[in-house]
Amino acid sequence: MLACTPTFRLSSMLKKIPVSQLRVGMYIHELCGSWLDTPFWKKSFLVDDATMLAKVNKSSVEEAWIDTAKGDDVPAPDPEPVVVEESTASVVPAVAPSVPVERVAYSDVVRVSMADEVGRATSIVNKSREAVLSMFSEARMGKAIDTRNAMPLVEEIAASIMRNPGALIGLARLKTADDYTYMHSVAVCALMIALASQLKLDDETTRELGLAGLLHDIGKMAVPATILNKPGKLTDDEFVSVKQHPAAGHAMLLEADGISAIALDVCLHHHEKMNGSGYPHRLSGEQISLYARMGAVCDVYDAITSNRPYKQGWCPSESLSKMAEWSDGHFDPVVFQAFVRSIGIYPVGTLVRMASGRLGVVVEQKEGKLLLPAVRVFYSVKTMSYIAPVLLDLAAADCNDEIVAREEASKWGLKDINRYWLGEAST
Going residue by residue through the chain, which has 427 residues, state the pLDDT in tens, using 9 for 90 and above. Answer: 334 544 433 334 677 888 888 888 888 877 876 545 565 656 677 887 777 777 777 777 888 888 777 778 876 543 333 343 333 233 333 333 334 556 778 888 899 999 899 999 999 999 999 899 999 998 999 888 887 778 899 999 999 999 999 999 999 988 877 788 889 999 999 999 999 999 999 999 999 999 999 999 999 999 998 998 888 889 999 999 999 999 999 999 999 888 999 999 999 999 999 999 999 999 999 999 999 999 999 999 999 998 877 778 888 999 999 999 886 789 999 999 999 999 999 999 999 999 999 999 999 988 888 899 999 999 999 999 999 999 999 999 999 999 999 999 989 999 889 889 886 443 3
Whole-model pTM: value is: 0.74
Contact 115, 170 (CB under 8 A): no
CA distance 366 to 380: 25
Angle, in degrees to the nearest 10, between helices 261-269 and 290-305: 50
101: left (phi over 0), alpha (psi -120 to 50) or beta: beta
- Asked whether the bond before 280 is cis by omega within 30 degrees of 0, the reply is yes
Going along the chain from its start, the domains and CATH numbers come out as: 14-91 (no CATH), 106-343 (1.10.3210.10), 351-426 (no CATH)
Rg (CA), the chain: 24
